Amino acid sequence: MRVKELVISEKINVRKLIEVVELANQFESEIFVEGDNYKIDAKSLMGLLATIKRNSAITIIAKGIDEEEAIKKLISLLK
pLDDT per residue as tens digits for the range 18-61 = 999 999 999 999 999 999 899 999 999 999 999 988 888 999 99
| pLDDT, tens digit, 9 for 90 and up, residues 59-72 | 999 999 999 999 99
Domain containing residue 23: CATH number: 3.30.1340.10
Full residue range of the structural domain in which residue 8 is found: 2-78
CA distances from 66 to 15, 16, 57, 76 (A): 25, 22, 24, 16
pTM listed for this prediction: 0.92
Cα gap 69→14, rounded to integer Å: 23
Domain tally for the chain?
A: 1
Whether 48 contacts 40, CB under 8 Å: yes
Q: How many Cα atoms within 13 Å fall on the side-chain side of residue 3? A: 4
